[in-house]
Structure 1
Amino acid sequence: MSNGLTVYYLPKADYNRTYGLFTTNFGSLDTTFIPRGATEFQTFPEGIAHFLEHKLFEKEDGDVMYKFGALGAQTNAFTSFSRTSYLFSTRENSYECTQLLLDFVQKPYFTEENVHKEQGIIQQEIQMYQDDSDFRLFAGLLAKMYPESPLAADIAGTPATINAITSEDLYQNYETFYHPSNMNLFLTGPFDIDKMADFVKNNQENKTFVKIEEIKRQPFQAENPRSFDQLELEVAMPKFALGLRGEDEIPKSSKELLIYKLSNQIFLDLLFGRTSERYEKLYNVGLIDDSFGFSFDLEKQFHFSILTADTENPEKLSQALQEALKSYKIDKDFSVEHLDLLKREMLGDYFSSLNSLEYIANQFASEIYDDLNFFDLPEILEKITLDVIEKYAEKFINEMKLVEFTILPK
């Protein structure tokens, strides 16, 4: 649009719900940047992106959630490492809900009084997560993998950093990152696309925004990882996490980047997924149970894999996982037949997921690789062969740094 906002429309005539997702490219990692109108880098308290997400719902005339409720809609929001998203889901009043979504996100209201009130609420939320052993496992591993970096900090911050946030801080962050040029809107449902497009266009043209400025963020940096650490909590069984911090250079082109990500995800699935012989073997000898899982996360500033499990023998499990990574080329599970099975399974899951408006919107908004997006996955998946997977896995495995983190019963 003329103000820089990117809008995606996905009409679904045979559905009875409309789903909207309004996203800004601003997350927990963005704590050091040059605020709009300033000339020097400034560092803000950890957790400020998440805090701002909470505060945008509170207006001078009340909580926006009640307004969505009056329209028969549900609303929510979430903050990740790199983005903050606001959403609604409704069976009625889709235009009114779209207007409310755009208006409340694009009109901040912060005061020292309501900031102080929110500090107590978020501190309770932080404490709740401290009692979650799975969260502590993930957060503890990240802190060891990326010391002295924003990744080492909780997305919600700490009680100390939350107490340091002021209304002025919130406005500076808002004015820098909530400009339409740094945002995108995704709407899907049974609406008329021309009517909805005109409606959104009129809404945006009736608002005034300052001139677009390039956002200057501090480049992501982290100290060398700490290879091993552990923590004692009230858990019945040890919880183990193996982190693989990527040190290889990721592709520059959007197409290669998506292929790289999918290749490494499939690589883990080949070796450790539920269709692998290794999974069955580790399960049968009691080294893993249904809690075993793995993931591959990729942002332009960093990438890593995490494998986690509840296990009575963390050392033995770690050894088995590391041996599998080193000898994958001679692994029975690393085969064309197994790959074909996984690709068919992925395509089945993909086409099944297209029935969910929420899933489409969230995946689309989080995986926009310049000219590629979520709907290009089948075409990209077709290009992924065992040779392609080996090419990228080899780079990743050869240069990665290993980190182990264990939570032991008190």
Structure 2
Amino acid sequence: MGERRRHITDAERRTRLAYRHRLAPAARAGTPEEVADALVALHGTDPATVYLAVGARLAQASATVAETGRALYEDRALVRMHGMRHTVFVLPAPLTAVVHASTGLAVAARERASLLKDMAAAGAPDAAWLAEVEESALAALARRGQATAAELAEDEPRLREQFVYAAGRSYEGVHTVSTRLLRVLGVEGKVVRGRPLGSWTSSRFRWALAPAHAAMDTGAAQAELLRRWLWACGPATEADLRWWTGWRAAEVRRALAAIRAETVTLDGGGTGHVVEGDTGPGGADPGPDTAGGPVAGRGGEPWAALLPGLDPTAMGWRERDWYLAPGPRAALFDRSGNVGPTVWWNGRVVGGWAQRSDGEVVWRLLEPDAVGREAEAAIAAEAERLREWVGATRVTPRFRTPLERELSG
């Protein structure tokens, strides 16, 4: 008979989440770089998500905007780029090579082929013409440092040329060369999004050349990314891993074998995977607390959090029953599966929140019987903490969900 596998309960998974995702008060981080490193990647499709996700995890939330801006645009310690599932993420700079090699190369090849196909169908110039425009645009960006597409078109007017996409079909549209080309260059890891044109909630960005990084073998990069993510989010099922990475089942299994991942059993009868040696009670060394010491021996201290839409914790797993009951999901997700702002208590999603036009942060419990007065007091304190550091800024999630719309109105 084989060796009996370790069983990790839902309660233990929630304790791991509290510390490894820097959500328990004792585990809060000192810098945005520490937050991003702990979570592997911050969802960047909605720019406000990055700041709100960091602020929920910083020991000094009042420093959120200044420190996150510093990390992104001054030190370039964090980089906004396309990554898993063709989604925009904010990553620790050392991880850009890993993400590019593990997920970006395959997506980039498809994106460039799609652009050339669409241009050919529209009778637009060929690949040689596009290569000239690309070389000229990158040279202009190098001279300028950072620039918008419109500014680059001043130096390379061919970026303004347009072609009809999907002519004759219901979704026919007109694309500008700059729009499609810069997107392809982003996926290829040649350009990244720089400073926004407005405040920290703005969705309009300048472009910048991507930081240089060494080429990596795809298999090695996939193994490294999976190892990092399993450390932050394990145990996870194969379905979770395939969903988060966007890889094929064979790629996930190959990466699991490469890092010698261990299997555990989960509540409900499922099989989970953890990093080798990470099967101990509570996880082996879940990570440093804000003072730099280990938190492995701590019990599960009560904690509350208000996390933004698309937060990496709420979106981290495909199989979510262990932290989110089926009942509240219709109110918290949009039709495309994007999660809205969520209220957490001790590792479970118990409600949602929103910001009203006057700046008030309001919240509602969707499972009121599951929490008591201690939880409500802690959630109210987190709402006030959020209101204080957000200040006069008004935040509307890019993807609106039923409860967020109701509360904000």
Q: TM-score, normalised by structure 2?
A: 0.29
Q: TM-score, normalised by structure 1?
A: 0.29
